[in-house]
Chain A
Amino acid sequence: MNARAAGSGPARRAEERAWQVLAGVPDPEIPVLSLIDLGVIRHVHALGADAIEVGLAPTYSGCPATTVIRESVSAALQAEFKDVKVVDVLSPPWTSDWISADGRAKLERYGIAPPDESVGSPRQLWHAAPPIRCPRCGSQRTRETSHFGSTPCKALHRCDDCLEPFEYFKCI
Chain B
Amino acid sequence: MNASPAARLDYLLQLADSSLILAQQLGAWVGHAPALEEDLGLANTALDLLGQARHLLSYAGELEGKGRGEDQLAFFRNEQEFRNLTLVEQPNGDFGHTIVRQVLFDAYQIELYERLQRSTDERLAAIAAKAVKETRYHLRYSASWLVRLGDGTEESHARVQQALDRLWPYTRELFDATDADHELASAGVAPLPSDVEPAWSARIDAILAEATLKRPAAAPYRWYGRLGAHSEHLGYILAEMQHLPRSFPDATW
What is A's interface to B at a CB cutoff of 8 Å? 58, 60-64, 90-95, 119, 127, 145-150, 152, 156, 170, 172
Contacts and interface: CB of A to CB of B under 8 A. Distances in A.
A150 B41 CA distance: 10
A15 B54 CA distance: 31
B126 A91 contact: yes
Contacts of A90: 55, 123, 126-127, 129-130
A93 B133 CA distance: 9
B44 interface: yes
A93 B129 contact: yes
Contacts of B136: 172
Interface residues of B, number: 30
Given A60-B51, A62-B50, A95-B133, A147 B141 contact: yes
B137 interface: yes
A91 B122 contact: yes
Contact of B134 (A64, A145, A149, A172): A172
B125 to A, nearest CB: 7
Contacts of A150: 40
A62 B131 CA distance: 10
A64 B50 CA distance: 11
Interface string B136-175: 1100110010000000000000000000000000000000
Interface in B28-42: 36-37, 40-41
Of B36, B44, B141, most buried by chain A (CB within 10 Å of CB) is: B44
A68 to B, nearest CB: 14
Contact of A148 (B50, B51, B129, B141): B141
B121 to A, nearest CB: 12
A148 B125 contact: no
Interface of B: prevailing SS: helix
Nearest to A150: B40
B140 A127 contact: yes
A146 B41 contact: yes
Contact of A146 (B37, B55, B130, B131): B37
A148 B129 CA distance: 21
B129 A61 contact: no
Nearest to B123: A90
Given A147-B140, A148-B41, A119 B133 contact: yes
B10 interface: no
B51 A63 contact: yes
A60 B134 contact: yes
Contact of B52 (A62, A148, A170): A62
A149 B133 contact: no
A1 to B, nearest CB: 18
B110 interface: no
B137 A172 contact: yes
B140 A152 contact: no
B48 interface: yes
A152 B47 contact: yes
Nearest to B37: A146
A132 to B, nearest CB: 15
Given A93-B130, A127-B140, 13 more contacts: A58-B51, A60-B134, A62-B48, A64-B47, A90-B127, A94-B130, A145-B37, A146-B37, A147-B37, A147-B40, A148-B37, A148-B41, A172-B136
B47 A62 contact: yes
Contacts of B192: none
Contacts of B133: 93, 95, 119, 172
Contacts of B140: 127, 147
Contact of A92 (B37, B49, B129): B129
Given A91-B122, A91-B126, A148-B141, A61 B131 contact: yes
